Amino acid sequence: MSSYPHPLIAREGWPFIALALGLALVVTSLAGLLWASPIWLVWLFCVQFFRDPAREVAGNAKSVVAPADGRIVAIEPVRDTWLNRDALKVSVFMNVFNVHSNRSPVDGEVKQRWYHPGKFVNADLDKASTENERNALWIRTADGHDITCVQVAGLIARRILCYVDAGTGLTRGQRYGFIRFGSRVDIYLPPAARIKVTIGDKVHAATTLLAELP
């Protein structure tokens, strides 16, 4: 699975953009630009939401990079229930104006994938990690470190997309999924990982270093 090249506008958004554009053109031709202006705004929103710029990947084999664009909303020791272990959780919240492509935080192999249906509470809240719809990947690095990367749906997100499964090799920064319309990604790291970000920091997928593995 190659990361690049990929379109500047994510393929996941093409149907939405095409539908909004077609409807805007029809209404403009039949009723004029004033009546069509709300539909043109929807089209512009879709274009900005589904943008997917290429990124320079930071760090090295021991680096953990941001899996998504957004803001750091949690850095805390927790119990990783996916792997039944103590871990350090780092959470990135994406609002509707962030790029929503999800990228692998580390170099490694996907050992297992889990999908859990759930609620759609505000992804900015801590309880979203345990109550919302979510898709988790267990990734093991070449050095044997286990990383759990969890896509979490948000208040208006209704579709988590993941294109990898057990046995897939990933490189950090490689695109592996997408969440439509607001969400978060939780990363569960070994407790000895050295965190490089703080609460409130804005991060960019692949280019921002979240942590260094021991």
Query: In angstroms, rounded to a whole number, what is the distance separating the alpha carbons of residues 13 and 66?
Result: 22
Catalytic residue among 63, 91, 104, 183: 183
Query: In angstroms, rounded to a whole number, what is the distance separating the alpha carbons of residues 134 and 159?
Result: 10
Active site residue 183: yes
Q: How many C-alpha atoms does 2 have within 13 Å on its Cβ side?
A: 4
Q: At what angle do helices 33-49 and 14-31 cross, to 10 degrees?
A: 170
- Catalytic residue list: 183
